[in-house]
Amino acid sequence: MHDTSIVARTSSAPITFISMATLDPSRVKESDFGPRRVYAVENMTSQRMRLLLGGFLGIALFIGTPLAVGQQVKKIDDKVLKTAGKGTEWTLNGMDWGEQRYSTMTQINPGNVSKLASAWSYELGPGGGNQQATPLYSNGILYTVTNWSIVAAVDAKTGKELWRYDPQADRTMTQPGKSRLCCGVNSRGVALYEGKVLVPVVDGRMQALDAATGKLLWSSWAIPEPKEGEVSSYSLTMAARVAKGKVFIGNAGAEFPPFRGYVSAFDVNTGKKLWKFYTTPGDPSKGFENKAMEAAAKTWVGEWWKMGGGGSMWDGMAYDPDENLLYVGTGNGTVWSADVRNGGRQATNPDNLYVASIIAINADTGQLKWHYQCTPGDQWDYDAIQHLLLADIRIDNRNRKVVMQANKNGYFYVIDRTNGEFISASEMSQVSWATGLDPKTGRPNVHPDALYSSKQGVTVYPVQMHNTSQMSFNPNTGLIYVPIAAENTFSFVAAEAYAPTPGSQNFGLNLAGARGGVPMASPPPHGPDRKNPDGSKVRGGILTAWDPATQKERWFALGGGQSGGGTLSLASNLVIQTLGNGRLKAFTADKGEQLLDIELPVSSGVGPPMTYMLDGKQYVAVMGGTGAQGRGGPGGGGRGGPAGGPGRGGPPAGAAPIEPTAAAAQGNFPPGPATVGNNNPKLLVYAVPN
């Protein structure tokens, strides 16, 4: 590409882009030259130029749109975030750093929640998949992100769009041969910090926008920078988190070997990468980045580094300011089959650290403080990426600082968050892959028949007890409210050998083996055997109210599931639940009495709920809808159609394939309401009428 200047005119001054070969490849720097803004961009390949310039072209859509009086951006810093859980704004992904999704507001309560009605809605765009982000709220403005990482700032009282930003994400990442999204075109959330909106772009860029205007401030790669002619395995689908002047993000892609996951910290003001921590060890001949990687390598065999090891991150993350620890949940190994991953059947199944683990990282240095591996040597897709929730609870007459997780593998875990000590775990769903857990260490006793090969398969419970549906904690009841799949199964047969398939998912499995005559084992399940009032077996999705101190279920209600939707807990003794199939419900938090069940104006793709107060009125907000999910070209999308993308309201570009265990788990849940006409993604806001 030759050096060029590109000028985009807005309602204010023109913007000039100048190619400069001397710049860092992942950075864009701005300088002012009178009325003209000049953005210097390196002399780069056409792909990288398109990705970076795409973000700036998106600026032309909204630069110069002023915020109304009373909607000026409020400074959000560590002092504000430390007490966020006690306020009436929603400035963090999980309401507070501990991700409790609990609000002290009581205006919406058991006495009036049945009157909850639509206040307004805002159409987010053409879509392209499920809505999984939690909107954030500060000083009269809602900030949210939809498919392809398109961000919007909306007047929280009226639903009027204030600005909109399209980063022009690489739409080829859903195309056959270039695919790198295992489970849909997902963006799970932005972060707010010091006048900025921090945006993880699905194609791998971490970006900062001016919260007042939506203008791009910086852009850095949070994955290995894609190279022209090569197929990347990496993406960003999790919500960003912020603290101490840093934005934290982990990358995903373990279904697309070779992949080696890592979590990064960037300076929120400059985009400079401050540290990164790998979740699996690399090639020993090249040395290890730190002692944690050296220790982890002892738990691997064969030439694992050629497939990368895996260890994706796409949901669970929390921060404890007192311990200064960042907690991250890691995903499956690459590939799923332990036999294939480790170069053949081993005498004992290697642990393969740090896959399927909860890890605690020093937020300043990026060094590992402790780890707890939920599923050592995972070969059943039992990621530990689910919602991580921090709380202080009393257990056995002791006050404990804990991190908790309802894991894919069927167990609910309570871990000491200061040192990683196992406190307790119990079956929350039917389990057959393990016969139980060691009461002191929590290490699972794997059923011998669960270790499958290419000659002997297995059908195990569960396939996914819990995935990305968001749970909440109410300190008044002491209960956690978790949408789960009560019971489900999946069959595994290992592939004979591993063959690379760039741009396509590769699990190291023979997916037709269970139907092709391979002998299958079926270890007996154990765990909660829930019954309906008529005595029939409970199947599909439920909402469970779980006591983490005693590891007992207090109550459950039908509806929901392991993915989509989520819960919000209120101090007024309410639990509000959104369901992926287009419903909103409310229950009393202590006893589970249903008080509300309404249809949303979307039939699928519903995300988790949040709440905020504006001008003395409490609101509940949620995103939902999918839009069309066809395949498309490399351009952006959203609202003006630059860079080859469709205009707002037009067909989206790209639907990602769904990996098999997620697809199997989705089959447990009923469809949404048939009355919905337009299922385009929407931001829906509800309140109790005056």
The residues that are catalytic are: 381
- Can you give the three-state secondary structure of 438-457, one letter per residue? CCCCCCEEECHHHCCCCCCE
SS3 587: strand
Separation CA 668–CA 689 (nearest Å): 36
Rg (CA), the chain: 24
Question: Which residue, among 238, 121, 191, has the nearest Cα to 623 in the 3D structure?
Answer: 121
CA–CA dist 611, 596 (Å, integer): 16
Backbone angles phi, psi at 248, to 5 degrees: -110, 140
Give the pair of three-digit tokens for residue 484: 């789960």
Distance CA 579, CA 600 (A): 10
Q: Of 489, 470, 454, 419, whose CA–CA distance to 607 is shortest?
A: 470
Determine the Cα–Cα distance for residues 476 and 59; give it in Å rounded to an integer.
Answer: 45
CA distance 393 to 549: 7
Burial of 181-220, coded b for 16+ CB within 10 Å and e otherwise, reads bbbbbbbbbbbbbbbbbbbbbbbbbbbbbbbbbbbbbbbb
Encoded tokens for 609: 């709920």
Q: How far is CA 240 from CA 16, 102, 205, in A?
A: 30, 19, 12
* Whether 495 contacts 340, CB under 8 Å: yes
Q: Tally DSSP H helices, then E strands, for the chain.
A: 5, 42
- Give Dmax (Cα) for the chain: 76
